[in-house]
Amino acid sequence: MIRTLLLTVGLVAMSNAVIGARDWQNGTWTEVTVTRPRVVIGLQTRRPSTGPQEPRMTEIRTYIIDSHSLRLELKEPTPPQRLSVEAIVGERVVFALEKNTVYVQQSDGTEHRLRVTKKHEKKPPR
């Protein structure tokens, strides 16, 4: 009974590992830009004695990754307290593309999720 239970748990764990595997690719960061919206709408506090609070400024980060078969433009809206992708133009990047989402793997193993805004497939040279 215990042996069957352990075997079942092992098979479920292995199937989850296979399902969760991503197709990792190599590429190069070719452009990194940060923009901030011109107008920021914030909320006024209810007590005037505390004074107005500045709304948090959202940064919109745009990244472009080039690989041998793809050119991807990615966006990441980043609140100021959140860690963003560490991208330096010209450095290599490991990424996985799943529909309209790209997962970028940092050197320490952490993954960041980015939204694909443009996808251009390169044609192989003849």
End-to-end CA distance of the chain: 61
The parent domain of residue 122 ranges over 24-33+56-126
CATH number at residue 87: 2.40.50
Domain count, the chain: 1
DSSP characters over 41-109: --PPPS-GGG-PPPPPPPEEEEEEEE-SSEEEEEEEEE-TTS------TTSEEEEEEETTEEEEE-TTS
Quote the pLDDT of residue 81: 59
Question: Nearest-CA neighbor of 114 among 99, 105, 98, 101?
Answer: 101
Is 97 among the domain residues?
Answer: yes
Q: pLDDT tens string for the chain (126 positions)?
A: 777 656 666 655 554 444 458 899 999 999 999 888 777 666 555 666 666 666 566 778 899 999 999 999 999 866 655 677 888 999 999 999 999 999 999 888 889 899 999 999 988 767
Q: Letter for the amino acid at 120? A: H
Quote the pLDDT of residue 51: 62
Is 46 among the domain residues?
Answer: no
Task: Note the Cα 31 to chain centre separation in Å.
Answer: 15
Count of Cβ atoms closer than 10 Å to residue 27 Cβ: 21
Quote the pLDDT of residue 28: 96
